[in-house]
């Protein structure tokens, strides 16, 4: 990407999960790893959990395509909070009209519903539990797995929401060893593409608290795909119902999974913080 001219961006967040959004429609090149790192630096750049690029759709039934980039320039497959921010950005831009439209994401098409309370509900697709599709090198699919880590043996569920997730149920999310177990589990060879690690505290059949240690970002204030994965894993383990409010450090998301063979829906806010130019 040519940065000789200042790069216009939008700073946004979804339940505290923060993003820089840039418009690459018209065939502009994706950001380099150096630019992603410069923008993502919270001291000398703008700061973000992920960088979102809005691009021309590859499909005629979608209003736009988006991609997700980590601060090291690597690509991510999915981000529910980011998808809501892209939806809000396109609504403000005028590209997306009406209450319902579709986005072309790195992990497939996402159906968007704009609600009257200025929140967005997204059909995030069907959770994938088959180990090879996560990917996770377990010998067989199971509701829970165990691995030995430096802090001891841990039990967790695993699922993909277009990106890999491991979910540990903990007595208290506030006291969970997120910054010890998160990177330790991410580094395991059993997850060849790494893994987002969720620490879930069940409060009631319809409410949990969750902290997520994400690939390429560390702990974030919210993770939409992580909230979906946590509910899906806990449903399979019989720990929660199918309509669950997920309390994350940055806000609450509403997750609904009506049936095993259907998509999981995530609803929550998207907010504009400021507009700016970089370079």
Residues with a catalytic annotation lie at 79, 223
d(CA 262, CA 104): 19
d(CA 212, CA 113): 25
In the block, tokens 């209003």 appear at 63
In the block, tokens 């009406």 appear at 98
| Residue ranges with strand state E in the chain | 7-14, 17-23, 50-55, 64-69, 75-76, 100-105, 108-114, 119-123, 145-149, 152-160, 164-169, 196-204, 207-214, 218-220, 243-248, 251-256, 265-269, 271-278
Contact 14, 47 (CB under 8 A): no
């Amino acid at each position: 990407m040519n940065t000789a001219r200042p790069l216009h961006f939008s700073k946004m967040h979804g339940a505290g999960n923060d993003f820089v959004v840039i418009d690459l429609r018209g065939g502009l090149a994706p950001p380099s790893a150096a630019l992603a790192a410069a923008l993502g630096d919270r001291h000398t750049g703008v700061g973000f959990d992920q960088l979102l690029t809005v691009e021309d759709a590859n499909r005629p039934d979608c209003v736009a395509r988006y991609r997700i980039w980590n601060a090291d320039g690597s690509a991510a497959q999915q981000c529910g909070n980011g998808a809501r921010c892209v939806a809000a950005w396109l609504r403000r831009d005028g590209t997306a009209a009406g209450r319902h439209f579709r986005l072309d994401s790195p992990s497939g098409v996402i159906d968007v519903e704009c609600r009257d309370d200025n929140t967005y509900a997204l059909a995030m697709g069907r959770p994938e539990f088959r180990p090879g599709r996560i990917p996770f090198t377990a010998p067989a699919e199971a509701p829970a797995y165990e691995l030995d880590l430096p802090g001891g043996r841990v039990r967790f569920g695993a699922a993909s929401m277009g990106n890999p997730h491991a979910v540990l149920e903990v007595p208290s999310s506030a006291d969970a060893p997120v910054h010890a177990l998160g990177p330790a589990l991410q580094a395991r060879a059993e997850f060849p593409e790494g893994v987002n690690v969720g620490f879930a505290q069940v409060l009631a059949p319809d409410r949990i608290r969750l902290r997520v240690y994400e690939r390429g970002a560390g702990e974030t204030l919210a993770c939409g795909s992580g909230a979906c994965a946590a509910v899906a894993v806990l449903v399979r383990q019989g720990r929660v119902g199918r309509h669950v409010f997920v309390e994350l450090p940055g806000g609450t998301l509403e997750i609904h999974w009506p049936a095993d063979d259907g998509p999981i829906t995530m609803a929550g806010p998207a907010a504009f913080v400021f507009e700016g130019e970089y370079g």
